Amino acid sequence: MTKDQYNYLGSQILDSCIAVHKELGPGLLESVYVFALLKELELRDINAKAKIALPLFYKGYDTGKYFEIDILIEDEIIFEAKAVDVMHPVYTAQIISYLKLADKKLGYLVNFNVGLLKDGFKRFVNNF
């Protein structure tokens, strides 16, 4: 995927998040925002899957443990949705870990429980 393709998808993700936030506002459960965002991306012909298992390996050995990515967009972009009052540093560590473990270049961490979406929207890169 080229940088232009990443940037295009990034703009579509932001626009989709804004549309969801305008429609629903803050204060709902994370699962509601995930469902709405999946629908919004589908309406834009963007492939997105929810609850993707990311296995955890140690020195090549499968630990039997896994993390769960909220949404994987076009098999390349990790999206983590939150609906919280306070964005704790552990959420940032979570998405950075997911990017490294899945070997993905781009990720978004979005808190929908804010008055203005721009205050809850963060972009992360990994060897981009």
When divided into structural domains, the chain yields a total of 1
| Domain around 101 | 3-125
User: At how many degrees (to 10) do helices 3-24 and 30-43 cross?
Assistant: 120
What was the pLDDT predicted at 33?
Answer: 98
How would residue 128 be classed by pLDDT, with cut points 50, 70 and 90?
A: confident
Q: Number of helices (H) and strands (E), helices first, in the chain?
A: 3, 5
Rounded Cα distance between 35 and 50, Å, is: 9
pTM (2 d.p.): 0.94
Q: What is the pLDDT of residues 54-107, one digit of tens each?
A: 999 999 999 999 999 999 999 999 999 999 999 999 999 999 999 999 999 999
Beta carbons within 8 Å of 97's beta carbon, 6+ residues apart: 67
Rounded Cα distance between 20 and 15, Å, is: 9
Give the position of tokens 């070997």: 103
CATH of the domain at 114: 3.90.1570
